[in-house]
């Protein structure tokens, strides 16, 4: 009986308790909300980039690229009516930059990179 009482006393009183950090309870404020749905602009941008890759716009003749972009931006405007004119222009700018062929490295650039 005395051994049991001593054991209870040691369980209730821990002399090192004031040296240990307090347990923090999760208030739920930092919970992971899961993946977020991309905005319509992000969806349109990603779809435009996919079209550029699939249709082989990179490296095409400039007049073909211009014609392709006119038709594609018209399609994207119909597909995503919630986009503003400014967002459509930004989408076109991003697409034109994305469709540019990669810059070729000159010998001086290659030598400085090595």
Residues 61, 67, 70, CA angle at the centre, nearest 5°? 140
On whether residue 48 sits in a domain, the answer given is: yes
Task: Spell out the long-range contacts of 19-22 with Cβ–Cβ below 8 A and sequence spacing 24 or more.
Answer: none
Give the pLDDT score at 60. Answer: 85
pTM of the complete model:
0.61
DSSP H or E run through 98: helix 85-99
On whether residue 114 sits in a domain, the answer given is: no
Query: Residue 83: left if φ>0, alpha if ψ -120 to 50, beta else—which one?
Result: beta
Give the pLDDT score at 35. Answer: 79
On whether residue 84 sits in a domain, the answer given is: yes
Say what the alpha-carbon torsion angle 70, 73, 79, 85 is, to the nearest 10 degrees: -120
Total domains in the fold of the chain: 1
Closest by alpha carbon to 68, among 85, 51, 84, 83?
Answer: 51
On whether residue 108 sits in a domain, the answer given is: no
On whether residue 63 sits in a domain, the answer given is: yes
Give the pLDDT score at 111. Answer: 57
Domain extent, residue 80, equals 40-99
What pLDDT, in 10s, does the model give residues 51-110?
Answer: 999 988 888 888 888 999 999 999 999 999 999 999 999 999 999 999 887 777 775 555
On whether residue 110 sits in a domain, the answer given is: no
On whether residue 85 sits in a domain, the answer given is: yes
């Amino acid at each position: 009986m005395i051994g049991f009482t001593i054991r209870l006393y040691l369980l209730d009183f821990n002399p090192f308790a004031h040296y240990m950090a307090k347990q923090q309870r999760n208030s739920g404020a930092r919970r992971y909300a899961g993946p977020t749905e991309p905005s319509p602009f992000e969806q349109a941008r990603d779809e435009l980039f996919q079209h550029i890759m699939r249709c082989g716009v990179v490296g095409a003749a400039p007049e073909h690229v211009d014609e392709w972009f006119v038709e594609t931006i018209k399609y994207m405007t119909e597909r995503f009516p919630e986009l503003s004119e400014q967002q459509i222009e930004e989408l076109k700018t991003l697409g034109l930059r994305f469709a540019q062929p990669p810059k070729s490295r000159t010998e001086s650039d290659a030598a400085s990179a090595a």
